[in-house]
Every structure is written in structure tokens, then in C-alpha cells.
């Protein structure tokens, strides 16, 4: 089960640019996101300046420039100490820097101020999932979905799927990934994991449905090619298997997947 989650995180770090469902390993960090709030004619001058600092922090964070992102967040919080979105962003940056104590404190403060904020709940849920509290994380992903105006519901759904897999609840994971796919048919996290789940069950038709969509939607990584190759092997499509094997050897000769192919380790 852990192999599915680990492989998926590698796949998606390089798979998507500008997709509505970024993957684990991306900036923003896996399953986490930040969407700057629109400006408002009613906001105070301090809040306007804090919001601009927050937007700058988000830009630097997405570029992986954590030091400058932290500086901008400190400036935002100096202007508005109880700015929940800035505190939530501080939680994200701290999480990526491995400062779990500060991340926990920041997320908790943010949620005390804005308990119904979908993005803060989703991001805190992802933090919980990655600090050994997978079951607790599901509650926050579900809270993120309560807002009907939340624009990326597929993200907390696929995050809940990942965290369900980590605790061995494949049935719940499947249901979450299916819902994520319904909201966003281009969601690579959902497609990859659904294909892996059905491959494990030896359901070639459903595994192939998702692996083929994933291949068609994105330039494939070694992990995606390896998944699709094994699905075609299960389906008995030797020509398709051979074509994918050739692509894997040509494009990713040094990958661990190419090495497993050479050793014939298909996991049959």
C-alpha cells in the first residue's frame, strides 16, 4: 500500500504545471495551496498592505524562495497579527522547512480565527497527514469541502484518498479518488492512484481507463510509463506493453523503473 502513495508523490512532482491539482512534492507542497484573497474597498489600509505582503510571500513560496517568503509573512503579520490567511501561509512555509512546531502553532491560530476556511483546513489536513495523524487529517479535508464556493474541491478529496491509503483503508481511498475525478477529470493524483488500485485488484479494464487518460493528459514520467506498461501487460496487450517499455528505456534509462523492467520485476 505504501508503494502506491510513494510512487504517486514522485510522479506528480514533475507531471503538472498549472494544473488545478498540484502534486505532492510541488511548490506549493503536496496537497497544499494558497489562493490570494481579492482586494476589497472596505479593507483597512493595514489589511491592504498586509494582503500585498501575503501575495508576495505566496509568489516567493511557489518559487521555493522560503527565506524571502518568511520575511514577507513577518511583515504581513506585523501589520495584521490576526490575519488568518497569513498565519495559514506561515504554516505552509514552516511545514516545508520541517519546522513542525511552528507549523502546528500557525495552523492552529489560523483555524481559531477562521475555522471554516477551506484552504487552511485542507493545508492543515495535509500537515496532519504528513506528521503521522492521517485519521485526524480526514476531518479537516471534509471541513474544506463544506464551502460550496470552494474552487478546488478535488484537492482535499485526493488528499483524503492519499491519507486513507496510508492507513490501509483502500475502499475509502477509492471513493475519495473517484469523487476527486468527478470534480476534475484531469486530476492526475486521482487518475494515477485509481489505476494503481485497480491494477492491484487485477481489474485491467478500469486500470487501463485511468492510465490511458493520464498518458493522454500529461507528458509521462517514468512512474506513469511504468504504471501504464504494467496495466497493458495485465490486459494482454503485448504491442502496447512493448511500446511503453521502449519509451521507458529511451526516455528514462537511468530510472529505477527502467531497472525493474530490465530485471523483469513486474509484480505479477
Give the domain CATH number at 220: 1.25.40.10
Specify if 200 maps to a domain: yes
What is the per-residue pLDDT for 41? 52
Least confident of 5-19, 85-99, 152-166: 5-19
Specify if 40 maps to a domain: no
Specify if 112 maps to a domain: no
Question: How much is the pTM?
Answer: 0.83
71-79 own/partner pairs: CB under 8 Å, 24+ apart: 75/50, 76/50, 76/51, 77/50, 79/46, 79/47, 79/49, 79/50, 79/53
Higher pLDDT, 38 or 18: 38
Specify if 176 maps to a domain: yes
Mean pLDDT, to the nearest integer, of 116-133? Answer: 96
The chain-wide mean pLDDT, for the chain, equals 87
Buried/exposed code over 247-262 (b: 16+ C-beta within 10 A; e: otherwise) = bbeeebeebebbeebe
Specify if 236 maps to a domain: yes
Structural domain range at position 157: 1-25+147-268
What is the per-residue pLDDT for 34? 55
pLDDT band at 38 (very low <50, low <70, confident <90, very high): low
Specify if 82 maps to a domain: no
Number of domains in the chain: 1
Mean pLDDT, to the nearest integer, of 170-174? Answer: 98
Burial of 104 (0-12, 13-18, 19+ CB in 10 A): middle
Amino acid at each position: 500500500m505504501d508503494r502506491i502513495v510513494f510512487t504517486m508523490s514522485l510522479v506528480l512532482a514533475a507531471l503538472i504545471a498549472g494544473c488545478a491539482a498540484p502534486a505532492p512534492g510541488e511548490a506549493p507542497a503536496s496537497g497544499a495551496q494558497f489562493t490570494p484573497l481579492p482586494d476589497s474597498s472596505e479593507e483597512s489600509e493595514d489589511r491592504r498592505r498586509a494582503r500585498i505582503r501575503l501575495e508576495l510571500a505566496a509568489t516567493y513560496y511557489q518559487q521555493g524562495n522560503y527565506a524571502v517568503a518568511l520575511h514577507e509573512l513577518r511583515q504581513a503579520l506585523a501589520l495584521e497579527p490576526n490575519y488568518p490567511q497569513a498565519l495559514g501561509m506561515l504554516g505552509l512555509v514552516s511545514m516545508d522547512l520541517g519546522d513542525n512546531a511552528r507549523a502546528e502553532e500557525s495552523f492552529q491560530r489560523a483555524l481559531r480565527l477562521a475555522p471554516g476556511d477551506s484552504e487552511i483546513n485542507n493545508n492543515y489536513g495535509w500537515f496532519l497527514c504528513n506528521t503521522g495523524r492521517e485519521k485526524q487529517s480526514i476531518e479537516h479535508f471534509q471541513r474544506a469541502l463544506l464551502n460550496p464556493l470552494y474552487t478546488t474541491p478535488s484537492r482535499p478529496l485526493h488528499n483524503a484518498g492519499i491519507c486513507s491509503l496510508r492507513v490501509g483503508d483502500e475502499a475509502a481511498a477509492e471513493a475519495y479518488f473517484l469523487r476527486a475525478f468527478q470534480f476534475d477529470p484531469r486530476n492526475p493524483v486521482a487518475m494515477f492512484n485509481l489505476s494503481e488500485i485497480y491494477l492491484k485488484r487485477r481489474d485491467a479494464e478500469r486500470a487501463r481507463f485511468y492510465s490511458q487518460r493520464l498518458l493522454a493528459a500529461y507528458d509521462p514520467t517514468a512512474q506513469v510509463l511504468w504504471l501504464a506498461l504494467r496495466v497493458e501487460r495485465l490486459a494482454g496487450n503485448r504491442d502496447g506493453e512493448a511500446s511503453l517499455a521502449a519509451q521507458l528505456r529511451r526516455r528514462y534509462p537511468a530510472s529505477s523503473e527502467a531497472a525493474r523492467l530490465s530485471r523483469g520485476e513486474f509484480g505479477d
